[in-house]
Amino acid sequence: MIQSEICEMLGIKYPVFQGGMAWIADGKLAAAVSNGGGLGIIAAGNAPGDYVRDQIHIARTITDKAIGVNIMLLSPFADDVARIVIEEKVEVVTTGAGNPSKYIKDWLAAGIKVIPVVASVAMAKLMTRLGASALIAEGGESGGHVGELTTMVLVPQICDATNLPVIAAGGIADGRGFAAALMLGAQGVQMGTRFLSAEECTIHPTYKEKILKATDLCTMVTGKKLGHPVRSLRTQFAKDYAKAEFSGTPDEELEELGKGALRLAVEEGDMQKGCFLSGQIAAMVKKEQPAAEIIKEVVEGAEPILMRASQWVK
Ligand code: TUI
């Protein structure tokens, strides 16, 4: 059994979060993860508030455990979602792709645990000062919007910069990654890509198949030119987009090229125009299985490794 301070804080059995993957992490997936003893997180992504409210209601019909909502701060609906999580009494809010400072006071006053994703030490210090409950340190191995630093480099520095519990994210998919994260000073992990293969994850079958067949070098980062680097599978879309970026295509045209690409991947499995977000760890995702089984496998995989760790000390 691996437990940490974050389990007590959130009332969860295992210190395992499911990442708030835009267009993917809906009420059904989040509820399955929470029922499996982790923390399921609904992704608001770019969706309107009503969608998020509906997903919270769906999750509540499936689980009585704590759930989270991830607010993507670049979304035009971020203000609406920030209010809805209070109205719906969501237990945990995580944020991504920006600075959530202006919302934190209201969330804390409503009794919500606030856990921002940070990709730098400066942001970790600011969030600590503003009263965040914990931090997610997400390295650039992750899928979707990525920061500059790797998990290996980011996590210990964030741990040194805060006294809050730190959750490591990016490049973690099994017991070895989980154990390593704890060794770096984290109190738990967040996984996104590993949950793409969950039975309760309702992405298009083509998306799932691409993840299950992925190899080590099959992701790439695009979007740096627009200031929003995003890691995805190396598909025709990603290669075309990268080509456009490096051939002086105007920003407006690049914006247009990327519009709707996440939805096309998730809902239609469109290999030409879809953007299939994925972390570097995709090659280690081997089979479809229930979310609860994924959590158990990762936690139980870490136990013998941690037990054996003392062998190195003579
Ligand atoms: O946010 C994510 N992953 C995401 S968001 C997303 S949807 C999207 N759509 C269009 C363009 C871009 C994204 C898909 N995947 N992960 C959390 C994360 N947050 N990673 C990095 C950061 C981050 C970056 C900068 C957090 C804070 C930050 O601070 C910026 C500042 O204001 O100083």
* Residue 122: inside a domain: yes
Measured distance CA(185)–CA(263) in Å, rounded: 36
Find out whether the beta carbon of 22 lies less than 6 Å from any atom of ligand 1.
yes
Are 45 and 192 found together in one domain? Answer: yes
Q: 140-192 pLDDT, tens per residue?
A: 999 999 999 999 999 999 999 999 999 999 999 999 999 999 999 999 999 99
> For residue 156, is it within any domain?
yes
List, for residues 81-114, the tens digit of each pLDDT value: 999 999 999 999 999 999 999 999 999 999 999 9
- Is the pLDDT at 138 greater than 90? The verdict is yes
And the tokens for 254?
A: 């690049």
For residue 146, being part of any structural domain is answered with: yes
Q: Is 119 in the pocket of ligand 1 (CB under 6 A)?
A: yes
Q: What pLDDT shows up at residue 1? A: 87
181 with 98, same domain: the answer is yes
**Could you give the CA distance from residue 307 to residue 265 in angstroms, rounded to a whole number?**
41
Question: What is the band of 3 on the pLDDT scale with cuts at 50, 70, 90?
Answer: confident
**What is the 157 CA–ligand 1 centroid distance (Å)?**
19
Q: How far is the CA of 303 from the centre of ligand 1 (A)?
A: 32
Q: How much is the pTM?
A: 0.97
| 151 and 290 co-located in one domain | yes
Helices (H) and strands (E) in the chain, counts: 13, 11
The beta-carbon contacts of 209-214 under 8 Å, at least 24 apart in sequence, are: 210/235, 210/276, 210/278, 211/276, 211/278, 211/282, 211/285, 212/285, 212/286, 212/287, 212/288, 214/278, 214/282, 214/283, 214/285
Residue 223 lies in a domain: yes
Same domain, 173 and 25: yes
* Same domain, yes or no: 44 and 97: yes
Query: What is the mean pLDDT of the segment spanning 264-282?
Result: 96
Give how many domains the chain has, as a whole number: 2
Same domain, 152 and 43: yes
| The pLDDT value given to residue 83 | 98
Q: What pLDDT was estimated at residue 293?
A: 98
3-class SS of residue 219: strand
227 and 161, same structural domain?
no
**Is 213 a member of any domain?**
no
| Structure token pair of residue 44 | 């608001």
Ligand 1 probe mutation, 117, 225, 276, most atoms within 8 A of CB = 117
pLDDT bracket for residue 257 (50, 70, 90) = confident
What rounded mean pLDDT belongs to the chain? Answer: 97
Q: What is the 3-state secondary structure (H, E, C) of 95-140?
A: EECCCCHHHHHHHHHCCCEEEEEECCHHHHHHHHHCCCCCEEEECC
| 73, pLDDT greater than 90 | yes
Are residue 46 and residue 164 in the same domain, yes or no? yes
Segment 228-232 mean pLDDT:
96
Percent of the chain at pLDDT exceeding 70: 100
Indicate whether 136 and 267 sit together in one domain. Answer: no
CA–CA gap between residue 197 and residue 283 (Å, rounded): 12
- Cα 240–Cα 148–Cα 158 angle in degrees, nearest 5: 150
My answer on whether 159 and 233 are in the same domain is no
Query: Is ligand 1 within 6 A of the CB of residue 230?
Result: yes
Q: Do residue 295 and residue 166 come from a single domain?
A: yes
Domain limits for position 11: 5-202+285-308
Model pLDDT, residue 84: 98
Say if strands 113-118 and 144-145 run parallel, antiparallel, or are unpaired.
Answer: unpaired
In this prediction, residues 239-258 reach a mean pLDDT of: 91
Residue 233 placed within a domain: yes
The pLDDT value recorded for residue 124 is 98
- Ligand 1 centroid to Cα of residue 220, in Å, is 16
Which of 18, 72, 155, 280 most suits a substitution to test ligand 1, by most atoms within 8 Å of the C-beta? 72
Q: What is the CATH number of the domain that holds 92?
A: 3.20.20.70
Q: Does residue 314 lie within any of the structural domains?
A: no
Residue 145 lies in a domain: yes
Q: What is the pLDDT of residue 251?
A: 92
Looking at ligand 1, which residue's alpha carbon is closest to its atom 3?
Answer: 145
Whether 267 and 303 map to the same domain: the answer is no
Nearest CA to ligand 1 atom 13: 145
